[in-house]
Amino acid sequence: MTRTTTHVWRLLKWGRTLARHGALRGIENDPATPKQVRRIARIARFGLPQPKDPDYAAALQAIGPAAIKLGQTLSTRPDLVGAAAAANLSRLQDNLPPAPFALIRQAIESSFDASLDQLFAEFDPNPIGAASIAQVHKAVTTEGREVAVKVLRPGIEQEFARAIETYEWAAAQTESAGGEVARLRPRLVVAHFKQWTARELDLQREAASASELKENLTAEPGFYVPEIDWRRTARRVLTLEWLPGIKLNDRQALIDAGHNCKDLAAILVRAFLRQAIVDGFFHADLHHGNLFALPDGRIAAIDFGIMGRVDRRARVWLAEILYGLITGNYRRVAEIHFEAQYVPSHHNVDEFATALRAAGEPIRGLPVKDISVGRMLESLFTITRDFEMPTQPHLLLLQKTMVMNEGIATELDPDINMWETADPFLRDWMRTELGPEAYYADRIVDTVRALKKIPDLIDRLDHYYPPPGAAPPPPPLPEIEVIQRPRLGGYALAAIIGGLIAAAAMLLLR
């Protein structure tokens, strides 16, 4: 197990980098930041000039790939890092220098126990993109098909393992302070981040996710998922169909090519709703670099490393929440939150409905371009704090994807109204899922399942059963020793140690 001193040293090194970009100022000034974290932040920036405006994205890019991925995760948590920091972190693009081609060639050949010439007739040694985890090369197979070949960076697994271990340690120290930070559950955030990156580091699982998504979206012909070349796919290498297209953030190029941007925006919204509401399996990394408009007017997606799942019960609640906000039925939305136990039961459902109305009415019916996102987020964060709502980590990916999907759709069609676009889709799905036939079918299934549980229930009366609507079981959290002040000899010894570390940091890290 890594020693505490190693974690502290890594944090100080990263802290110096953060400080050079002014990223520690916001942490220090936030009243919710525990005193211990403020103290470490002050030590880390000791002796460094502070820029006027913090640049969190640039700081994390300088630290490395694991930090970039963590920053992308934190960009979905404005309640944890603040709206301004979340907006800054959303700029992370993973533009990194590529790994030497000799190492890439070695990774491909060792994965298939074959030479590169046996697998591909042509292979461009210069990557078309180099991200934090992998890089992509264009190639032609021996059968003459154009493909994109994604290869993991050499040593990336070990680098992520070291970084995540320290993230877990730091989250445990922070959460132990209690208060507002404990409500935000940073340990679970890091645990989910660890799960997501584990999936991204296995390209064969990514290929399987792409295959499953392609099957699910046969009912949405406007949204295309490329074919996987399974013969040339392994844990460290993914080969898929090459897609010629225009990135969705180049609106003028789309118009010049004859695309209808309003149609593209509608396709994007419908495809996301079908993934999240109907199938419960969705592409959770829908940024501009992963979406293209094909020459025939379809939208194509790539990069299936981060995928999300939502069970049926949660999907029904999600649909009801969205539909309630669309129609202004805030009472029903409030009831769903209490049924799902997202709000502690000692609060009043009517008061919660009133709070939702205060957040929803100012934006309902407006096109996205006329909505103040900052004002909306401020209202929602106030609600979560006032009603002591714990973070729901299993919904983080869905929240992130909804925000990204809305942003891209708005760039394509500034006049789009997301609520109106979603209304008919949600109405039809809810009629199917919540109509009388579905209701009685569900009751029959539930009854049969309940009867099957009776023998086990008698033997295990004290067994803990999750309440209906609760989050899925959280990832296991590692055992981490939390630093106790008495064990450090009190504040005096802590100050001496902190001073020594700061002095060493100034000499070695500048």
Strands (E), 201-261: 223-224, 237-241, 246-247
Query: What end-to-end distance do the CA atoms of the chain give, in Å?
Result: 29
**CA distances to 323, 425, 468 from 430, in Å:** 9, 9, 19
Q: Which residues pair with 150 in a beta bridge?
A: 136, 238
Q: Is 487 exposed, middle or buried (0-12, 13-18, 19+ CB in 10 A)?
A: exposed
- 178-209 exposure pattern, b = at least 16 Cβ within 10 A, e = fewer: eeebebbbbbbbbbbbbebbeebbbbbbbbbb
- Indicate the DSSP class of residue 497: H
Relative orientation angle of helices 261-273 and 396-412, to the nearest 10 degrees: 170
Instruction: Report the alpha-carbon distance of residue 40 to residue 502 in Å, rounded.
Output: 9
CB 162 within 8 A of CB 369: no
Instruction: Report the alpha-carbon distance of residue 278 to residue 285 in Å, rounded.
Output: 18
Choose the catalytic residue: 285, 303, 386, 428.
285
DSSP-derived secondary structure for 271-304: HHHIIIIIISEEES---GGGEEE-TTS-EEE---
Residue 285 known to be catalytic = yes
Structure tokens at 37: 């974290």
**CA 185 to mean position of chain CA atoms:** 15
Which helix (H) or strand (E) is 147 found in, with range?
strand 146-152
The SS3 assignment for 184 reads helix
Question: Measuring CA to CA, which residue among 451, 199, 146, 207 is closest to residue 308?
Answer: 199
Which helix (H) or strand (E) is 309 found in, with range?
strand 307-309
Helix residue spans in 257-372 (DSSP H): 261-273, 312-327, 330-339, 349-360
Instruction: Report the alpha-carbon distance of residue 133 to residue 306 in Å, rounded.
Output: 12
Q: Is 384 exposed, middle or buried (0-12, 13-18, 19+ CB in 10 A)?
A: middle
Query: Is the torsion defined by CA of 83, 86, 90, 91 positive or negative?
Result: positive
Instruction: Report the alpha-carbon distance of residue 223 to residue 81 in Å, rounded.
Output: 33
What are the catalytic residues?
Answer: 285
